[in-house]
């Protein structure tokens, strides 16, 4: 009976680890997608491509929405909120005709990626 109990405990531990691992993989995948969208946003700004900018910003926001729906970790959610706020700031700057500073956005994406990897 002891061996069976131990086997059940090991299986339960691996089941939990598998679930946590899958969440980490999903989080990291979405963080990379957000990062890719932010890169596209930067390229669109450099190319002065308003349609590409809007598409990239929308894609990043959709990825953030999906990430927030799938992840319950508060650090990840806070980092995702920071990215969303930074995207909003970039949109506002573009709407006002300014060349936005992307460094806060890039820092927020780095924070998100780190939070997912933790």
Q: Domain ranges in the chain? A: 18-117
The predicted pLDDT at position 47 comes to 92
- As a whole number of angstroms, the distance between CA 64 and CA 105 comes to 13
Average pLDDT of span 99-103: 86
53 against 6, higher pLDDT: 53
Question: For the domain bounded by 18-117, which CATH number is listed?
Answer: 1.20.120.330
User: Hey, how many other C-beta atoms are within 10 angstroms of the C-beta on 56?
Assistant: 22
Q: What is the pTM of this model?
A: 0.76
CA dist 113 and 117 (Å) reads 6
pLDDT higher at 31 or 8: 31
Rounded mean pLDDT, 54-61: 89
Structure-token pair, residue 94: 């573009």
Which residue in this structure is represented by tokens 């780190």? Answer: 114
Q: Which residues does 96 contact at the CB level (< 8 Å), separation at least 6?
A: none
**Mean pLDDT of the 92-96 span:** 89
């Amino acid at each position: 009976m002891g061996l069976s109990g131990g086997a059940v405990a090991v299986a339960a531990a691996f089941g939990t680890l598998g679930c946590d691992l899958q969440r980490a993989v999903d989080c990291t995948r979405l963080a990379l997608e957000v990062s890719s969208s932010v890169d596209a946003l930067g390229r669109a700004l450099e190319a002065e491509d308003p349609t590409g900018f809007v598409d990239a910003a929308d894609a990043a926001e959709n990825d953030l929405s999906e990430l927030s729906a799938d992840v319950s970790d508060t650090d990840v959610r806070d980092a995702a909120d920071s990215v969303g706020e930074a995207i909003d700031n970039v949109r506002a700057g573009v709407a006002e005709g300014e060349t936005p500073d992307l460094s806060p956005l890039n820092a927020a994406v780095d924070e998100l990626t780190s939070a997912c990897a933790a």
